[in-house]
Amino acid sequence: MSEVRPATLAAGLPRVGEYFGKILPTLRWPVLFAGSETEGSLAAWFYRLDSWAWLLFETANMAALATLMGAGAALLLAFPAARNLGAGMLARQLARRGLEAMRTVPEIVFALILVWAFGVGPLAGILAIALHTAGTLGKLFAEAIENAGTGAWDGVRAAGGSWAQACRFAVLPQVAPNLLSYALLRFEINLRAASVIGFVGGGGIGEELYTVIAQNYYEEISAIVLLILLCVAAIDLLSERLRHRLIGAPR
């Protein structure tokens, strides 16, 4: 049985509010736009903005590279995993079971293993996110391929094209907008994942956030969390516009 009880929730909820109260900055309107040496100003709250902005840029790069790597692997495995392309039972089962294995293991578990193998830093985080991305996107890509029409496929095969050529010239052009849409959506998710991966040594802003949480630097916690939220929101808006442009939907 779970340990969730109404009494436990009632006792713990005020503590959650107390913690949020601690991380709120002590801003004062008369000095709101003063320099970083003035307590109560925005500049004092974000006194390490330059280093945090660089870490956020590193986190976004991690997410982008992991998405690119994961999407590439997913694309290669999605064609044999699709049931309608006749890749053969063995190839289909190997592709599908491999994709299942990659998306079943959480990114943070992959990161713990890869940090042990490659050491602390962005490489472990990128590889961990890429593995999980490949498993998730591979399933979505395979389903998109299974929903594609078979007329062009039959035409390429009847003209003597190989299985790989039919995948490239008959199926891929049909499903490319959907695949790009899925990849962009996954990029948004991976930015959040890259922030969490830093808690186990995967690089990026997550390492800094873990440090300030561990040392109870309350106002720095809220400053970093706000920056992450703004970064995620900006990328969400940009990705949404790109997805709508790709699929031709109204914004």
pTM: 0.85
Structure tokens at 45: 């709250």
Mean pLDDT check: name the lowest of 53-62, 172-181, 238-247: 238-247
The model's pLDDT over 62-109, given as tens digits with 9 standing for 90+, comes to 999 999 999 999 999 999 999 988 888 999 999 999 999 999 999 999
In this predicted structure, what is the pLDDT of residue 3? 67
The contacts of residue 182 (CB under 8 Å, 6+ apart) are 137, 140, 141, 144
Reading the block at residue 44, the tokens are: 């004092």
- Residue with the two structure tokens 């079971």: 97
Tens of pLDDT, residue by residue over 135-148, are 999 999 999 999 98
Identify which of 241, 104, 128 has the alpha carbon closest to the alpha carbon of residue 195: 128
Burial track 179-193 (b if 16+ CB lie within 10 A, e otherwise): bebbbbbbbbbbbeb
Helix (H, G, I), strand (E, B) or coil at 48: coil
The tokens describing 160, both together, are 């003597």
- The tens digit of pLDDT for each residue in 206-229 reads 889 989 998 989 999 999 999 988
What residue ranges define each of the domains in the chain, with the CATH number in brackets? Answer: 44-247 (1.10.3720.10)
